[in-house]
Amino acid sequence: MSEPVDVVLIGGGIMSATLGTLLKKLQPDWKIVVLERLSEVAQESSNAWNNAGTGHAALCELNYMPEAKDGSVDPAKAVAINEQFQQSRQLWSSFVEDGILDGPSTFINATPHMTFVRGEKDVAYLKKRYEALRTQPLFAGIEYSEDSRVINQWAPLLMQKRKKGEPFAATRVPAGTDVDFGSLTRQLFDHLAAEGVEVRTNVEARKLRRQADGTWRVSLRNSLGRTPGSLDARFVFVGAGGWAIKLLQSSGIPEITGYGVFPIGGQWLKTSNPAIVSQHKAKVYSQASVGAPPMSVPHLDTRVVDGEASLLFGPFATFSPKFLKHGRITDIVAQVRPGNILPMLKVAVDNPGLIKYLVGELAKNHGKKVDSLREFMPTARDEDWELLQAGQRAQVMKKDKDKGGVLQFGTEVITSADGSIAGLLGASPGASTAASIMLGLLKTCFPDRIAAWEPELKALIPSYGTTLNGRPEVAAATIAETADVLDINR
């Protein structure tokens, strides 16, 4: 016998947690069920050690503002990412004020965001980027320096024993953050469970079938391989991370035709040595190597997880055919369909730089990895750093009418024409922009309800439906208010 419910959220990551919490506020009467195949929530990409915990606001990541062929730099994408992060900050502030989230230091900590580059070309580019951003209200307070004494004050590990002669420069925004997305996810699910939402762990959604009445039958399997019935849902969100593609394909919706994913694993170097950790309080991003995907830009980060600070450097790319850290080795072949095989082959042919980059990364032993770190931190010693396995990224490959097939590095929400099912593909900027992604999804999937929900959404996210950057005073006030509630950026 299949159980009727209003909403099924597949996957216990930050995306389902955010959508579930929003829906519970907007429609407290709806029956919502969450399915997680592992024994706990937040064990895949949303786990603190599986991602870098950067509150992506485009303060330090160069890939959101590349130099155009004519040498110009356009701040539009960086501003848009920052606007999205401001929505997350507002939503988390409201959740703290409502008691849904615990003390803010359990999931967010003030950590200046820096960019550090070397060589004349990159120094000239960083200066140009700084000039374009410093007048944007959302980037107020950004600083630039080519002076080793100033950079030494910002991040001494970058400067100690650095050889003289090569030009370098850095920018710094004190208002950056480090976010423990695992803690945030767990707290949101705890709240949902307390509010009567069923969070079923050790239960995997196997297949999605549309019923004659328009609902979705979600067939289930538990960790013993048994079938604990099925659910009939009016709306399904596929927040299954790397496995979203499999479930969306199983649903048979035409919107998923032509899509595939390419898995890229990651590793970090981590140190908890207090003598090193105490000398660095920042997230320092740099330029990506040639051929490297934008999210593989190396960075040296302060992390605060479970109240304990450590430093993380990476990511180093790895390859595994699995779409999740706990996925299956058959994942990469099981996705092949007549509709996506050509776009995927085209991506392989068109991206020799990526393949070369991956091969180079795979060849790096521990010493070579620490050599990469020494480009940031010349005094790094092999023995202080241990290797950690990060989460899997499932990068989107899709059909393109001009190129045949393209690899893209952002996130993409796939929605059926009637809005009864939606799923999220891709990884970046990811968890930081979960609020904005889910607001977009609510609008697309519930067009007949969104107007009625607007007052509640505006109460949760005052900038909902508008932008901040064009209104300097409102932007400054919003940043100050959320900084106050979240106890950051002072």
Ligand X SMILES: Cc1cc2nc3c(=O)[nH]c(=O)nc-3n(C[C@H](O)[C@H](O)[C@H](O)COP(=O)(O)OP(=O)(O)OC[C@H]3O[C@@H](n4cnc5c(N)ncnc54)[C@H](O)[C@@H]3O)c2cc1C
Q: Which of 176, 241, 298, 343 binds ligand X (CB under 6 A)?
A: 241
Instruction: Confirm or reject binding of residue 182 to ligand X (CB under 6 A).
Output: no
Q: How far is CA 411 from the centre of its chain?
A: 9
Determine, following the binding rule CB under 6 A, whether residue 256 of this chain makes contact with ligand X.
Answer: no
Residue 126 binds ligand X (CB under 6 A): no
Q: From 14-22, 90-98, 371-379, 415-423, give the range in contact with ligand X by CB under 6 A.
A: 14-22
Closer residue to ligand X (CB): 110 or 431: 431
CA quadruple 273, 276, 277, 283: dihedral, nearest 10: -130
In Å, what is the CA distance from 18 to each residue of 183, 186, 247, 430, 436? 13, 11, 20, 12, 10
Secondary element (H or E) of residue 460: helix 450-460
Distance (Å, rounded) from C-alpha 446 to C-alpha 303?
37
**Contacting range for ligand X; rule: CB under 6 A; set: 101-109, 148-156, 336-344, 424-432:** 424-432
Residue 453 contacts residue 442 (beta carbons within 8 Å): yes
Find the part of the chain contacting ligand X (CB under 6 A) among 13-21, 72-80, 224-232, 346-354.
Answer: 13-21
Cβ closest to ligand X, residue 168 vs residue 376: 376
Q: Interhelix angle for 434-445 vs 14-26, to 10°? A: 50
Q: Which residue has the tokens 């410093």?
A: 134
Stretch that binds ligand X, among 11-19, 114-122, 154-162, 472-480 (CB under 6 A): 11-19
- Give the binding range for ligand X (CB under 6 A) out of 20-28, 93-101, 111-119, 421-429: 421-429
Write down the least CB distance from residue 471 to ligand X, Å. 25
- 427, 395 contact by CB (below 8 A): yes
Q: How far is the CB of 472 from ligand X (least distance, A)?
A: 26
**Counting contacts by CB under 6 A, is residue 423 touching ligand X?**
no
Interface with ligand X (CB under 6 A), residue total 41
Closest to ligand X by CB, 16 vs 489, is 16
| Binding span for ligand X by CB under 6 A among 68-76, 95-103, 237-245, 285-293 | 237-245
18 contacts 438 by C-beta, under 8 angstroms: yes
Closest residue by Cα to residue 468 from 143, 57, 186, 153: 57
**Strand bridging mode 168-173 / 113-118:** antiparallel
Residue choice 197, 276, 332, 431 for contact with ligand X (CB under 6 A): 431
Q: Is 429 in the site for ligand X (CB under 6 A)?
A: yes
11: contact with ligand X by CB under 6 A: yes
Told to check if 35 binds ligand X by CB under 6 A, we report: yes
Least distance (Å) from ligand X to the CB of residue 483? 19
Q: Cβ 69 to ligand X, closest distance in Å? A: 29
Residues 288-327 that bind ligand X (CB under 6 A): 315, 324
Q: With binding defined as CB under 6 A, does residue 424 bind ligand X? A: yes
Q: Which is nearer to ligand X, 306 or 402 (CB)?
A: 306
User: Among 38, 31, 41, 81, which Cα is nearest to 61's?
Assistant: 81
Query: Which one among 7, 9, 26, 38 touches ligand X, defined by CB under 6 A?
Result: 38
DSSP letters spanning 206-231: EEEEE-TTS-EEEEEEETTS----EE
By the rule CB under 6 A, 104 interacts with ligand X: no
Q: What share of the chain is helix, strand, coil (3-state, %, to 5)?
A: 40, 25, 35
Q: Which residue is nearest to ligand X (CB)?
A: 13
**Taking CB under 6 A as the rule, which mask of x and - marks residues 43-82 in contact with ligand X?**
xxxx---xxxxx-x--------------------------
Any idea of the CA torsion for 348, 354, 356, 359, to the nearest 10 degrees? -100
- Residue 446 makes CB contacts below 8 A (sequence gap 6+) with 419, 453
Distance of CA 181 to the CA centre of its chain: 9
Question: At 125, which amino acid appears?
Answer: Y
Chain residues binding ligand X by CB under 6 A are 10-16, 35-38, 43-46, 50-54, 56, 181, 204-205, 239-241, 243, 247, 266, 315, 324, 390-391, 393, 424, 427, 429-432
